[in-house]
Structure 1
Amino acid sequence: MASLEQALAQDRVVDITTTGRTSGEPRRIEIWFERFDDRYWITGTPGSRGWYANLLATPDFTFHLKESAQADLLAHARPVTGEEKARVLAGIMTELPAFAGKLTDASPLVEVTFDGIPGSGDRD
């Protein structure tokens, strides 16, 4: 089984559990995450996304590794906008050509930091 650091470097599909912005109940979904510029990001195609609205209301969430390693990581989402958003989305599309043309300024984007994991944007 891979270490947490290896999983964060090579895996792409995770589950996240957010807090429902209206209900206050946990909401778990499967989602892709990206690594760009030695940081971690969650994005998607343009449109309204429940996970994004939930993270705007309550930025602390659980990031569930489930591919090469299994772990539930405490995480924090920081919404990304403006020039930083344009730079990150362009970088993601360059590294993952399948996303080329699918991510726009209307795409949701958050940077993910982890609690207690040295070298992974940890907040300790």
Structure 2
Amino acid sequence: MTATDETRQALERQRTIEITTTGRRSGQPRRTETWRYRAGGRYWLTGSPGSRDWYANVLAHPEFTLHLADQDFQARARPVTDPDERALVFGEIVLTLDWAESLESWIAGSPLVEIELLG
């Protein structure tokens, strides 16, 4: 089994995950708990509309560490800014969240990055 297969299996089991990003200004590691989502057969990091430090960090330093099942995996964030792709991904994610605000508010104001597994 490759590290990528192992990572995918761990991502399937865990919705709440921890990531370590590199601080955009400090350059120091920043560990954050967040949720991962699945849409279109891929894995995503996002959150309800608003700014997020982890998002600002991955914009500056796209590589980060996923902490899953007591193991660490390397990943890269692919920020999604294209409005059509955002609508497609959020259309799938927001439908699964009974607490979510409107789809339009997520498209307009939520961070969205695809988790690209390394190794």
Superposition TM-score, scaled by structure 2 size = 0.84
Shift of 1:73: 0.6
Residue 62 in structure 1 maps to residue 65 in structure 2: yes
Shift of 1:86: 1.1
Shift of 1:55: 0.4
Alignment of 1:100-111 (within 5 A): 101=102, 103-111=106-114
**Alignment correspondent of 1:91:** 92
Shift of 1:31: 0.5
Residue 46 in structure 1 maps to residue 49 in structure 2: yes
Shift of 1:96: 3.4
Bigger share in helix: 2
Residue 12 in structure 1 maps to residue 12 in structure 2: no
Residue 28 in structure 1 maps to residue 28 in structure 2: no
Shift of 1:8: 1.5
1:22 and 1:87 mapped to 2: Cα distance?
A: 32
2:117 and 2:34 mapped to 1: Cα distance?
A: 17
Aligned length in residues = 111
Residue 72 in structure 1 maps to residue 75 in structure 2: no
Superposition TM-score, scaled by structure 1 size = 0.81
1:106 and 1:80 mapped to 2: Cα distance?
A: 12
Residue by residue, what CA displacement relative to the aligned partner does 1:66-97 show, whole Å, maximum 9, x if unpaired? xxx22111000011021101110110012333
2:84 and 2:107 mapped to 1: Cα distance?
A: 12
Letter in 2 for 1:89: F
**Alignment correspondent of 1:121:** none
State the SS of the aligned residue for 2:108.
coil
Q: Structure 2: which 5+ runs fail to align? A: 1-5
Letter in 2 for 1:73: F
Query: Would you identify which runs of 4 or more consecutive aligned residues in structure 1 move more than 2 Å?
Result: 3-7, 95-104
What is the identity percentage for the equivalent residue pairs of Structure 1 and Structure 2? 51
